[in-house]
Amino acid sequence: MTTDPCHIAIIMDGNRRWAERRGLAIADGHKEGGLVAKNIITEAAKSKIRYLTLYAFSSENWQRSDFEVSNLMLLLEFYLSNNSRLLLENNIRFRVIGDIARLSPSIQKKITEYEILTKNSTGLNLIIALNYGSKLEIVDSCRKICLEVIAGTTKLEELNEQKFAEFLYTKDIPDPDLLIRTSGEQRISNFLLWQIAYTELYFTNKLWPDFNKEDLDEAIKSFRERKRKYGAK
């Protein structure tokens, strides 16, 4: 039997389908998904989970319509402007991984404010993946390593898996123990490819706006029943 996961990562999928099935605007699905994310964050904090990573906006999501992307950015800015109390009351440390340079200056400013505001929180580490793509993260890491090798601050012969991980966005975050994906899709979608080498995967048909505490508990229960072998017999 396995103990409870220290780090849970979630691909929050299904907002658009949830809205379409109800004859609602796609923006309504994203809004409902945001409310569910708040609930799951609160539950994770209460459950003493140490790390929770939510895949909020991928680097590929820019390919969606300008209207949908604009609504997503407005929703993101709204949540970043109205949830400092949630973070502080639940002792949550807020962090972002991804290339935030493409996000608006106001969103970047809010991210920095939240990270500073919560830097001393000792409860749940909440990691939001924004404009994140794992392939880009790995390429960026390779660039950083090359620059250090050229500068002489890193020796090529010293490079191993542990050293490489120090150049990732998640350099001081443990790898996920459990990855949950909602909506019935069974793929990783360019999310934490390096970090999930030995992560337990859990797929549910529930669309993200329908996901709740009981679904989270069920995923954790499934995790507890697994035997993690890390390549051993």
Task: List, by residue number, the catalytic residues.
Answer: 13, 61
Here the tokens at position 76 are: 């993101």
What torsion do the CA atoms of 44, 86, 99, 164 make, to the nearest 10 degrees?
-40
Q: Give the helix/strand (H/E) hosting 41.
A: helix 26-46
Please, where are the H alpha helices in 121-174?
Answer: 134-151, 161-165
Identify whether the C-beta of residue 87 lies closer than 8 Å to the C-beta of residue 94: yes
Question: Which residue type occupies 50?
Answer: R
Spatial strand order of the sheet with 125-132 comes to 93-97, 125-132, 51-58, 7-11, 178-181, 200-203
Identify whether the C-beta of residue 204 lies closer than 8 Å to the C-beta of residue 219: yes
Kindly state the DSSP code that residue 154 receives in the 8-state scheme. S
